[in-house]
Chain A
Amino acid sequence: MKSAFRTGCLTISRSLNPNPPSLSALHGLRSAAVAPSPRSLRAPPFRAPSPATRCCCSSSSSSAMSGGEAPALPLEKQFEDFRAQLEDSVVLRERIRAVVLEIESTARLMYSSLLLVYLSRPLPEVLDKSKAHIGTLKDNYSRLADILSECPDQYYRYHGDWRSETQTAVSLLAFTHYLETGNLLLHNEAGERLGLNNSQFGLDLEDYLVGVLFMSNELPRYVVNQVTAGDYDCPRKVLKFLTELNAAFRMLNLRNDFLRKKFDGLKYDLRRVEEVYYDVKIRGLASDEDSTGDQRSKENNDSEVVH
C-alpha cells in the first residue's frame, strides 16, 4: 500500500515540476535520509559539523545542493524530514518535562523545610533542612543541561518548559540566603548554587529577578510571625532590606510583562512590612539599633513579652 501511494505522489509532483529529477536521484536522496548525511558543499567555515541527520536542531542537511536553483525535492521527502525533526523535539520535550517535574518536587520539599521557620523551629535547623535539597536541585539542573547539550543554542526554544520552576527555585534559595545572612542572593550566586554558571545552560536573568520578587512576597508573612514570636528587631531589618531592594529594582527598565507586574507588587510587600514596623515601634517594642543607649531601657520591655 505504501509504495503505491508513494508512486502516486511522485507522479503528481512530476506533473507540476517542469524539471523532474530522475527516479534514481530520488532514491539516492531517500537513502541519504537514513545514513549519516554528507556535508553540505557550501557550509560556512565556522559551522561545526552536526553528528546526526536526525538532530532536533533546526537545519536539516539531508542532501548537498548545487548552486543556483536546486532541483526540487519531492514534496514528500522534505516533510518526512520535518516529521522526523519535530518528532525528535517532542521526545526532547518529554525528557525535559520529566526532569522539570523532579525539580518541582524538590522545590516543594525545600519549601516545606523553610515553612518550619513559622513553626518556631531554630533557624539553624530550618536552614540545614532546606539547604539539604540544594544538592538535589543542582543535580536536576545538571541533567537538564545534559539533555539540552544535545541541541546547542536551543535553550530558549524550550525555556518555557522550566521557566516557572526555576523562578520558584530561585525564590527558595533567596529566602534561605536571606534567613541565613540578611542579604540578597545575587544572580551569579544563585547560578552557582544551581550549578548553572556555564555559558550553554545558564540562569536566565529575568527568571532570577522574578524569583527574587517571589521571595519578597514571603517577607511580610515572615515579619508578622517573627513579631508574634517575640523578635521585634526583624521588622526594622526586613524593612531596610526591602527598601534597598525596591531602590535597586527601580534602576531597571522593564517591559509591561510578568516581571513588571511582580515588581509592581513589591511596593505592597514593602508597605505591609512598614506597617508592622510602625506597629512595633510606636509601642516601644522595637530596639533602636543606632542608639545603643536605648538598649537598657528596652530591656525592661523585652522582659515583659519574651517567653
Chain B
Amino acid sequence: MKCSSAIQKIFLMASDSKPQRLRQWASFQSSAAKKARTMTTQSSLKDAFSSYADDLNHLNDKREKVVKASRDITANSKKVIFQVHRISKSNKEEVLEKAHKDLAAVVDQYVAKLVKELRGSDFWKLRRAYSPGIQEYVEAATLCRFCKSGTLLNLEEMNASLSSLSDPSHKPLQINILDYILGLADLTGELMRLAIGRISDDELEYAQKICTFVREIHRELTLLVPRMDEPYDMKTKMETMLQSVMKIENACFGVHVRKSEYNPLLGSGDPSYPLMGVAGGIDL
C-alpha cells in the first residue's frame, strides 16, 4: 500500500532525528492520507454494521419465535402428562386413548410450529431456546408409550414421526440424544408419581413394573452422565432420579410387607388396608 510505505520511510527518517521539517512533513502526509481513509471507513463502517444489525435482528427474532413455540409444546405436553395421571383401574383404555390423541395434537400443532419457525436451520445454535419444550414432549410421549405397552419409546421412532412435519426442502427437526436423555430423566419423576398412584389403587404389580423400568433407565443413564455435553445438569437429574427410584421401591416394599401380614387376619375383601402407612410417609 502506497501510504504505509511512505509512513515506513517517515518513521525510519524520524528515528534518525532529522530536523522538524521532516516531522512536520510526516504528520501532514499521514494526516492527509488518514483523512482520505477515514472518509471511506465511515461510510463502509455504517454499511457493515447495518448489515450486522440485520443479521442479529433476524437471529433474535427467530430465537424469540422458537422460544414461544417451545413454551406451547411444554404447556400442552404437561396436559398430556396430567391426563395420563388420571388413569385408574377402571378407565385405562379411555384415558390412554385421549392422552394419545392429545399427544398427536401436540405434534401436529405445536411441534409443527416449532419446526416451521426453525426453517430447517440453526438446530444447534438455537437448541437452548427449544430444548425445554422438546424435553417435555419426550417426557409425555415416553410416558404414554410406557402406559400403553410397558416399553420405552425409542429416539429413532420419535424422530421418524417428526420427519414428516418439515418442508421437504428443509432439514427435519430431529430430537438430539441430549434432549432425549434429559427428557427420560424427567420421565422417571412422572413414573414415580404414577407408581405411587397405582399403589393407592391396589395395583401393586403395575407399580412393580414401573419400579423395574425406572431402575433400568437409571442404571443405563448412569453410564452416560459424564459423556453428556453438560454433565453437571445431568448429575443433578440423576440424584433426583435415584430419589424417585427409591420412593417407588419403598412404596412397593411397604405394600408387600403389609400384605403378607394382612391376609390371614382379615381376608382379601378390604382394598384400603394395604394403603395404611404407605401413602402417608411418601413425599410426592
Listed in ascending order, the chain A residues whose CB lies under 8 Å from chain B are 9, 12-13, 15-19, 40, 42, 44-47, 58-63, 65, 69-70, 72-73, 75-76, 78-79, 82-83, 85-87, 89-90, 122-124, 153-157, 159, 180-184, 186-187, 205-206, 209, 233, 237, 240-241, 244-245, 247-249, 251-255, 287, 289, 292, 295, 299, 302-303, 306
CB contacts under 8 Å to A, within B157-209, are 157, 159-160, 163, 168-169, 171-172, 174-177, 181, 209
Listed in ascending order, the chain B residues whose CB lies under 8 Å from chain A are 1, 4, 7-8, 11-12, 15, 20, 23-24, 27-28, 30-31, 34-35, 37-38, 41-42, 44-46, 48-50, 52-53, 55-57, 60, 122-125, 127, 149-152, 154-157, 159-160, 163, 168-169, 171-172, 174-177, 181, 209, 212-213, 216-217, 220-221, 223-224, 227-229
- Given A44-B172, A45-B168 in contact, is the A205-B209 Cβ separation under 8 Å? no
Secondary structure at chain B's binding surface: helix, strand, loop or mixed? helix
Taking a contact as CB atoms under 8 Å apart, the answer to whether B48 and A248 are in contact is yes
Taking a contact as CB atoms under 8 Å apart, the answer to whether B45 and A245 are in contact is yes
Taking a contact as CB atoms under 8 Å apart, the answer to whether A65 and B123 are in contact is no
- Given A75-B220, A86-B224, A89-B229 in contact, is the A186-B24 Cβ separation under 8 Å? no
List A contacts of B174 (CB < 8 A): 58-59
> From residue A50, how far is it (CB to closest CB) to chain B in Å?
12
List B contacts of A90 (CB < 8 A): 227
- Given A44-B168, A72-B154, A184-B41 in contact, is the A16-B213 Cβ separation under 8 Å? yes
Taking CB as reference atom, which chain A residue is nearest B25? Answer: A295
- Given A17-B151, A61-B156, A83-B224 in contact, is the A244-B41 Cβ separation under 8 Å? yes
Taking CB as reference atom, which chain B residue is nearest A296? Answer: B24
Number of A-B contacts (CB under 8 A): 176
Taking CB as reference atom, which chain A residue is nearest B21? Answer: A299
- Given A58-B176, A186-B48, A299-B20 in contact, is the A205-B56 Cβ separation under 8 Å? yes
